[in-house]
Chains A and B, each alone.
Chain A
Amino acid sequence: MTNTYITNATWALTGEKIDLRMGHGDEPVSVFLNDIPLDGVNGVAPAGEMLIPEGARVIDADGKLVMPALFDLHTTINLEGHSKRESIYRAGQAANQGGVWGMLVMPSRGFIFDNAATLDSFDEAVSQRSFATMVPAGCISEGMAGEQQAPYNTLAARGVTILSDGGRMPTSLLMLHRAMKYAAAMDLTFAIRGDVPCLSEKTYMHPGTTSYNLGLHGTPACAEEIGIETLIRLAEDAGARLHIQTVSTAEGVNIIRRAKAKGMTSLTAEVALHHLLYTHENVGDYDTTFKTLPPLREQSDCEALLEGVKDGTIDCIVTDHTPCMPFAKKQDFVSAPQGMVALDTFLPAIYTHLILPGKLSWADVVRACSTAPAAIVNPYDQEEDVPVVAPLLLFDPAAEREVTPDSLYCGTLNSPLLGTVLRGSVTLPISR
């Protein structure tokens, strides 16, 4: 096996033109460039300065960007009515297309990660079927019912580092408090979305003019904010690591900012890409594509969330990828499930809607979508007994592509980007 050389690539974080020598299996050496560990890269030099042996495989990456691939901290892969293997295969394909090399898979129907057997069969299926690294998030409670603790020791022994009930806030705070105290010793992180279930039950979107006109009951922002505050207080008291999922309101960002300012280092937070791009007004005339959990909020919330990403209050941008069958989304708004798919389009959507308009820099994106999430999950190759680090991807900013049903590999079509044109395309793995 010979080396592959990437020449004339632009390093996304700095804009430098560089040549890269991609390593092969025998010599897995990581080099660091701007604090980014580069797996499998054992050589990097300013463009034109690398000695390239005769006959070597060369990829001319002129005009293209090279950067660490993304890690998604919030993915649901279950495809209703399909096998688990199909769900895994589809999600992996979609991820690679969107620039995502690895993901934290939320427990969901069909993937209830509360026991060793389920985790083992999942890992096996992933190793056979997936193009992407998939790390399961263990359940907080048995069957995600919110009442009994799952066996954390057993889960941790299978490589679980994050616990989540698929975003749901456990109904029993007592159980959660005890769980946090118990899991603290194992250095597990609790990933939960802030909520007060009794305040948000039977609500369908953000309260405002649109919800009034459509006659849909509004989910008060305070339900999420009180939930975040509650989680922080519980985790602080229990000494547990806490990751707040899908923050959607400006005040939610403020609460997290205050906690971090107080020195709470074991606290991290994420925002879903759609909460940076859309508002409740996108629901329009009952467009179920825009039904999400938590709901899309206001423009001022989008801006506060973006500010939170830039100043590091919000550590990660995630897909909150949730496949919903066309049949289910075609129902009325009240009955339709929440969620969007975003893996396929992740990096091109970020580039088109956040980087090109100048809202985020490449450095922000690499931190929020690659380094920070990977650091929270700490994926570890148990067979090789080494940490897994991000591979590189090539990004062609000049490419333009319309998002069509055929172009989505993820298995469902609940993407608001269908029919729109995105800038940029991803090559991952790079030597493809």
Chain B
Amino acid sequence: MPTISSEEIERALDAWGAQLVQKMSARDDEQWAIVGIVSHGDVLARRLVQKIEKAGHKALYGAIDITLYRDDLDLRGKRPALRSSHLPFSTDDLTLVLVDDVLSTGRTARAALEVLWEYGRPARVEFHCLTDRGGRQLPIHPDYVAFDLSASQTDKVQVRLNEIDGAEDITY
């Protein structure tokens, strides 16, 4: 199975952060927030916020658990565990960057959008993800993809991040 190393991930995150800083500079009248989808998107979002702050810009950090908004709760025998959401601000008039680790069907992103609207009315939302493995079932298109794996026809992408998995790589 092909693997993407932690060094490659780190380099990709640098480029991702730089791209965000560039966008923010171009629209410096907007207030930005980076919101990750638990359980991996929130880690990525925190790292991105650190990179943005290092570059002298400001962005709010948030994390959302979309489990209660899933459209497949009834199809699973067992209910998935819940994690805490952390969005200590109103999303009214913010520019939100929604961050996830793996984009595929687009159902997670749909649920995440529903969550965001319940915290206010954001001005604009972008969707960024670490990997895209293709297989979209909804009209969802990412604004930024770090690793486009859609050509590899894989049906499983595993992302591991140091903060929660104790190791870091992407296998697909």
| A and B in contact, CB less than 8 Å | no
Name B residues whose Cβ lies closer than 8 Å to a Cβ of A.
none
Name A residues whose Cβ lies closer than 8 Å to a Cβ of B.
none
